[in-house]
Chains A and B, each alone.
Chain A
Amino acid sequence: MAIAVLLYSSVMIRHDESVPLPLERLWIVSEHYETTLASLILERQQQPMRITTQRVRLWAYEMLRALVFLHHHHGIAHRNLSLKSVCVTTDAHDHQMHVKLANYGLYFATAQGADVDFPFG
């Protein structure tokens, strides 16, 4: 889709690279996290790990805070919030697992979901 191709192809080329990206493809480069909440649940079924209620509470707080940030500070609805779109990362300071929201803004970038073959909320 044209908007996305234009914007993201110009966005996603880093400053020290001059490689043109092919057209008609949507390139969205983002931070990479191995673990999402969905994969964490799968992991836990094989390898027990202790998750306390307090941890879930903290995660809920972090997700909600991210939503407030998106909603009220930037007027953006996530529209794709699910277990798969919440990344889990370990903070370097407190060595605790934190969550980050991912995959927001794709709804707009894909022409209200028309350009992709998977559904958007």
Chain B
Amino acid sequence: MRRYPETASPEIINAFPSDIDRATSFKSDVWALGIVVASLAAELLSPQVAISSGLAQLCSGDPSAVLQATTQRAVPTLPAPRERGVGRVWGEQQKNSTSGSTTGILIDIDSPSPVASPALASMDAASSTSWLNVLGSIDHALMEFVQAALDPNPASRPSSAELMTHPFLKGLRPPPGKKAWYVWPIVHCLDDDDDDDDDDGDDDADKLHSDLASTYYMWRLAVGPLEAALAEQSSTLGATSSASHFAPAILSIPRLGFQSGNDETMSPSTSAALTAAFSDESASSGGAGAGTGAGAADSGKAPYAGEIVPIVLDKTMRARLRPSELGAEDDVAPPKSLTRKPTETYDINKINFLGPEHDISRQGNIYV
């Protein structure tokens, strides 16, 4: 059984692995924040076993424990201690199979669950109130904050922006000049304030910022609309068409030509694989690539549209192709999750990511 992170939200644990992307939302971060804040309070403010053991079930990473904690006894509203047992129960499953308690507490200590930890089982009567109530005894607003964040229903769970208006955080303001200081590294390069010699305070702070700016840009490429950005950069190269779906999305084989090369380095099986790989793409693009191919744009020679361009594949590139295209010698399967539309063109001359030993200009081959 898969173990989940301790801050995994119920919707993540509930989801099938194939649906986990769809199930995850920004609300999952809010849940994780609730876990973190509650853990902080439990460990730092008042190291009480009631809180930490109550949290232990939510943080166990064990799906059954978390599911039980959230579906059987979780409740958005917390009753006062004297109202225990009559609280509103979230969801339909308000029957507690072990104790019959219908308390509305997120984790009820005095009704140990079948998955109760030894710490839970050793609870004495003094700590028999729920951990949220113990939390509330420290700071009531803190307890409400945690409870709001730990809403098991992501639909009703507040978003991060909504949670900012919680009374627990009332009166807190960001420090001046540090717009979002709490996130690194992207914050440093986004803040253009003059007085942002921040916590580091070292001499090469400016240098660090410039590096981080480029880092952030590339990082956004990794996370953001990479195809669009690349297409914008290489718009002069043109020749975009619906290529066949290589994996990964970014490093699909570009339609590149070359002047001369060492063909003996290409094995027959790889050649056959390339033939198969390019055949459908060539058919789809057809004459659209004429005159706009990457190689033809520079040299002005005959375009390579519809031709099989010999490309020497290194090991990593072969691993990215479909195994069926490469024959039995390659047993590395491409990641299945990469199903995005590939970007067909990019400036290969600017990306020499194989190192100097694979210098393009020296060998005359194009390595991808």
Contact = CB atoms under 8 A, between A and B. Distances in A.
Contact of B250 (A6, A58, A62): A6
B128 to A, nearest CB: 24
Interface string B201-219: 1000000000100110011
Contacts of A89: 199
Interface string A90-121: 11110000111110110011011011000111
A23 B353 contact: yes
B25 A77 contact: yes
Interface stretch (B5-13, B109-117, B265-273): B5-13
Contact of A83 (B39, B187, B201): B39
Nearest to A9: B353
A41 B44 contact: yes
B356 interface: yes
Contact of B215 (A9, A11, A112): A11
Contacts of A57: 139, 142, 168-169, 172
Contact of A63 (B36, B215, B226): B36
Contacts of A64: 33, 160, 163-164, 169
Interface stretch (B88-96, B174-182, B295-303): B174-182
A68 B335 contact: no
Contacts of A37: 36, 39-40
Interface residues of B, number: 79
Interface residues of A, number: 78
B142 A56 contact: yes
A121 B8 contact: yes
Contact of A60 (B33, B180, B224, B248): B33
Contacts of A10: 218, 351, 353
Contacts of B174: 65
Contacts of A1: 248, 335
Contacts of A9: 353
B9 A23 contact: no
Given A78-B32, A102-B184, A24 B316 contact: yes
B161 interface: yes
Interface of B: 2-9, 12, 20-21, 24-26, 28-30, 32-33, 35-37, 39-41, 43-45, 138-139, 142, 145, 159-161, 163-164, 168-169, 172, 174, 180-187, 198-201, 211, 214-215, 218-224, 226, 248-251, 316, 320, 335-338, 351, 353-356
23 contacts: A2-B248, A3-B249, A3-B251, A11-B214, A11-B218, A11-B219, A20-B353, A41-B43, A44-B43, A53-B138, A53-B139, A63-B36, A65-B164, A68-B160, A70-B29, A72-B161, A86-B36, A99-B182, A100-B184, A105-B223, A111-B338, A119-B4, A119-B5
Given A20-B353, A67-B26, 9 more contacts: A2-B250, A7-B222, A41-B43, A65-B164, A65-B182, A73-B180, A77-B29, A82-B36, A87-B184
Query: Nearest 8 A-B pairs (CB), nearest first?
Result: A20-B355, A81-B32, A51-B44, A66-B182, A69-B180, A11-B218, A67-B160, A62-B182
